[in-house]
Amino acid sequence: MGREAKEALFEQFARLGKALGSAKRVELVDVLAQGERSVDALAQVTGVNLTTVSAHLQALRRAHLVTTRREATRIYYRLAGPAVAELYLALLRAAEQSLPELPDAAEAYLGPDDVEEIGREELWHRAEQGTVTVIDVRPAEEYASGHLPGAVSIPLSQLADRLSELPAGTEVVAYCRGPYCALSYAAVRLLREHGLPTRRLADGILQWRAADLPVE
């Protein structure tokens, strides 16, 4: 019950903060919240080289925030469990409530606030009624790891070439990883340029899961 024991205890809590004390490692958690990915895939999606991304992943692994599996010569990473996803969601909520600089940083990345949104509950009810077309604009491997019921996989990179697949006269809702994922913003702007009524899901698949809504 001495001071050293107390410091040792709180040092365990601080390990998680230290592991997340890097913008790139937080981004890796954001990507891994979508599903398991290989090291080379993570390097590609985050735009850093293999050596650097491997070092960041090892820091997350030492804090037991991620786990791995090997398939032949390839190593795959995934979040260590639901508590890690909950920690990430709590981090987002705390940042939204505490950081006055966040809205400006978000606008600088996502663009102006000109994209209409739809909430989870409204989307769920409309999807059940069949009055909306839901498209998942994440990469195909993230869609395969889990997606909204009835959602069609049309990665953003393919969207311009697959406009004919979207039924005329039905509103389209695009979604991606979460509220700070640029893919759905770009998708809504592209579809509106082509005259299609489109909104984006206000958050993403991680928040959808957290709300105990069904995932396929």
Active site members: 176
Residue 136 — φ and ψ, nearest 5°? -100, 115
DSSP summary character for residue 38:
E
Strand partners, 74: 71
Alpha carbon distance 89, 112 (integer Å): 24
Q: Is 6 exposed, middle or buried (0-12, 13-18, 19+ CB in 10 A)?
A: exposed
Quick one: which of 152, 2, 87, 210 has its CA closest to 79?
Answer: 87
